[in-house]
Amino acid sequence: MRGIYTAAFLDRLVTQFARTRGVESLDLGKGFDLITGTSTGAIVGCALAVGRPMGEIVKMYRDHGRQIFPHRIKGTASAIWRMFVGGHYVRKGDHVLRKALSDVLEDTTILDVFQKRSISLSIPAILMSSHRSWVFKKTPKSGVRDDHYKLVDICMASSAAPIFRSLAAIDDPNNDHGVEQVFADGGLWANNPIMVGLTDALACAPAGAAIQIFSLGTCSRPEGELIPARKVHRSILGWKMGADAAALSITAQEFAFDNMARFIGNKLTELGRPVTRLRFPNKDVPAEMMKYLALDDARPEAVKRLIQQASNDADIAKSACDDPNNADGRMVKALMMSLPEMPKTGVKMETTT
């Protein structure tokens, strides 16, 4: 559900720059050669890639969130209840999410995006038949394996978070025998996909070309626990049937991969291959936001508060863009001022069959 923060942040920032430029809207997806996103980030990233306005994605989360997550895991009692009836909830949510994604992404394939929008995509998931990482990918160097996967299926696969959602059983477009492949959430190994993006950028960008990475999170909660030694014997209920372990993994990955990307980018820059990394917003989350940041919190008050926080953070980002002495602001402003115009209703893509 925190993807609504990302979509609302981008919607607010793009809207302000569109007004500055005196146009209806801006095609943010066309500002990038490569877009990568994991789980809820895959949904936002694919919507950008096909030229959908971010306001439409905010509406998708707001209208369907309660049906996608009809039962929130909020404590030990709810975790125990989920153990017995969870299959009903995730099955219902799976159907609603697929329908919502289909309304936005239609039958567009990853090849359609590459051919008709000149945008590469790299979307992490896990292939359950081998328990190995999988990246749905179409770039100038990627080959044809994933060409005919639909973006709806890719998003279902990348966001198939264990405990919270169903696994994703999707048709294998390379097989004519009705075979399905089952995938789990890419966030189990690449919740922060910055290293996936950097790897593909290095593989695809012309030799010596500068690489700019714009990394946007989902209003990640400040984490950490001071645990007395006598409290370390935490078992399955202490982890809310695994829900808290998932949140721990997400936070640890975000920090680790950001720092790896920073280190590698700095070294590449020293070696003459400029890599610039910008993560925004980069301010601390207000303490009162903590109660609204669960991955499955679709309550109206949580949705409203995430949108409000995104709007506040976007306003701060715009102020940085208006400050000529702010290096990050200059980088974002240069991107926004270079974007092509698009209608407020978005781009209408013709798809292949």
Q: Which residues contact 104 (CB under 8 A, 6 or more apart)?
A: 47, 52, 56, 57, 60
Angle between helices 76-105 and 40-50 (to 10 degrees): 10
Catalytic residue among 39, 122, 142, 166: 39
CA-based nearest residue to 155, from 103, 86, 208: 103
Alpha-carbon torsion (239, 186, 310, 276), positive or negative: positive
d(CA 222, CA 220) in angstroms, rounded, equals 7
185 is catalytic: yes
d(CA 88, CA 317) in angstroms, rounded, equals 42
Catalytic residue among 27, 146, 147, 185: 185
Cβ-contact 344, 53 below 8 angstroms: yes
Alpha-carbon torsion (220, 224, 225, 229), positive or negative: positive
Residue 120 pairs with which residues in a beta bridge?
A: 34
Strands, DSSP E only, in 91-235? 120-127, 132-138, 168-171, 180-185, 211-216
d(CA 44, CA 80) in angstroms, rounded, equals 32
CA distances from 144 to 76, 117, 122, 133, 229 (A): 46, 17, 13, 18, 53
d(CA 129, CA 88) in angstroms, rounded, equals 24
Backbone angles phi, psi at 26, to 5 degrees: -125, 145
Strands, DSSP E only, in the chain? 25-26, 34-36, 120-127, 132-138, 168-171, 180-185, 211-216, 275-280, 341-342
**Catalytic residue ranges:** 39, 185
